[in-house]
Amino acid sequence: MASLSQSRQPSSPRQAARRKAAVDGLLDPELFKALGDPTRVLLLRCLLKCKRACSVSEVAECCDVDFSVVARHLSLLARSGVLEARKVGRTVWYTPRCEDLASTFRSLADAIDDCSPTPIDCCGSDCCKEE
């Protein structure tokens, strides 16, 4: 809970990389990779706007790719924590994990803000001087 973020003055990036910060845990390439594919984003948007759990077959009607591809994408999104999967009988119902996602992105925004240099003394070297 303690805010370690107001750390010291600008250092070399190599030194800075060694310091711990909130962004370390929140900037997760795996999550972004999951959201980095156009088809997957299309499916996610579809699920988000539908506002209810949807089966693989239903979601597959939202785009042109093969059914098996949709099934794989949804499964991957679930493994990445983006969707929740609930199997009932022979059908799987997928729901976006809205609360978790929103909270993750908000925490990330906060962590990034913590990294923002203050306009004053933002840079000890000459790299910040106006041209």
Name the residues that contact a copy of itself, by CB under 8 A: 7, 9-14, 16-17, 19, 21, 23-24, 27-29, 32-38, 40-42, 44-55, 58-59, 61-62, 88, 93, 96, 98-99, 101-103, 105-106, 108-110, 112-113, 115-117, 122-125, 127-128, 131
> How far apart, in whole angstroms, are the C-alpha atoms of residue 14 and residue 5?
17
Q: How far is the CB of 65 from a copy of itself (least distance, A)?
A: 14
Region of 36-44, 45-53, 98-106, 111-119 interacting with DNA (CB under 7 A): 36-44
Q: How far is the CB of 1 from a copy of itself (least distance, A)?
A: 19
Q: How far is the CB of 78 from DNA (least distance, A)?
A: 8
Q: Establish if 44 lies at the interface with DNA (CB under 7 A).
A: no
The Cβ of residue 118 has, within 10 Å, a number of other Cβ atoms equal to: 7
CA distances from 10 to 7, 19, 20 (A): 9, 12, 14
Length of the chain in residues, anyone?
131
User: Residue 88's beta-bridge partner residues?
Assistant: 91
> How far apart, in whole angstroms, are the C-alpha atoms of residue 21 and residue 115?
9
